[in-house]
Amino acid sequence: MGPVRTLITGASSGLGEGMAREFAARGHDLALVARRGERLEALATELSARPGASQVVTATLDVNDDAAVAEVVPAMAAKLGGLDRMIVNAGIGDGRKVGSGQPEANLRTARTNFVAAIAQCEAAMEIFRAQGSGHLVVITSVAADRGLRGAQTVYAAAKAGLSTFTEGLRSDVHGTGIVVTEIAPGFIRTDLNEGMSMPFGVDAATGVRTMVDAIERRPGHAYTPRWPWSVLGPALRVLPMPLVRALT
């Protein structure tokens, strides 16, 4: 059996870039897509230069372009000679307080984190259903467990919707050769969230390693890092609102 063939969206920065490096170190063949093509090319050059490097292919993709998603995902799979896993990771955290006069930021956050994720899942699942196997990984967030205030309100709502969508997919393919995994990261420090308040936050290398370890186990759902989020995540659903506000 050859290397696992993995496609990662949003791979030019943050958690996507980190997962690309970690999977490359584990010998995966990679298809990396994101909006910033120049960063992808630099990352691919770096990964391909490693001793014993596996195959790395890239494509520029705006995940909000539904037609492009439907075209690029199967094209990347073809370049790899097939697709074993797709990680739906692309997303943004650009929300604003609702009613603050900046609805475009909230609408963009909702579309990118929910509607665009559905389009990515559609493209991957079409491939997986045709071949009767595959591993779909959807990156949500611990924020999906509770409505949050301020700039996080729409982000949390979109991730909650995506979490429910992912659970529905998992139910739909139960008992088949297709596995659907939801990864719900806690607070992981990257260049994209610098300056944010992050209780129990971990550095990017630690956070990404726990995400990739969880993905390799192919669970239905996993919080990463497991501690403390496997406790705090479910607790968020039942804690009194004043305590939720204090924690988030």
- pLDDT tens for 192-243 read 555 555 667 788 899 999 999 999 999 999 999 999 999 988 888 888 888 7
Beta bridge partners of 135: 85, 179
Who contacts 49 (Cβ-Cβ below 8 Å, separation ≥6)?
A: none
pLDDT score, position 12: 95
pLDDT score, position 54: 86
Would the pTM count as exceeding 0.95? no
Q: Are 162 and 117 in contact (CB under 8 A)?
A: yes
List the one residue out of 15, 19, 77 whose CA is nearest residue 47: 19
pLDDT score, position 230: 92
Q: Which residues of the chain have pLDDT under 50?
A: none
Task: Please report how the helices 103-110 and 153-172 are oriented relative to each other, as an axis angle in degrees rounded to 10.
Answer: 20
CA dihedral 218, 204, 87, 193 (to 10 degrees): 130
Who contacts 223 (Cβ-Cβ below 8 Å, separation ≥6)?
A: 142, 184, 185, 186, 229, 230, 233
pLDDT score, position 51: 83
Who contacts 19 (Cβ-Cβ below 8 Å, separation ≥6)?
A: 8, 11, 87, 89, 208, 211, 212, 215
- Report the b/e string of 137-161 with b at 16+ CB within 10 A: bbbbbbbbbbebeebbbbbbbbbbb
Q: Are 84 and 77 in contact (CB under 8 A)?
A: no
Give CATH for domain 5-247: 3.40.50.720
Domain ranges in the chain are 5-247
Q: How far apart are CA 75 and CA 71, in angstroms?
A: 6
Q: Would you name the residues annotated as active-site residues?
A: 155
pLDDT score, position 248: 67
- For the beta carbon of residue 162, count every other beta carbon within 10 angstroms: 24
Q: Are 205 and 18 in contact (CB under 8 A)?
A: yes
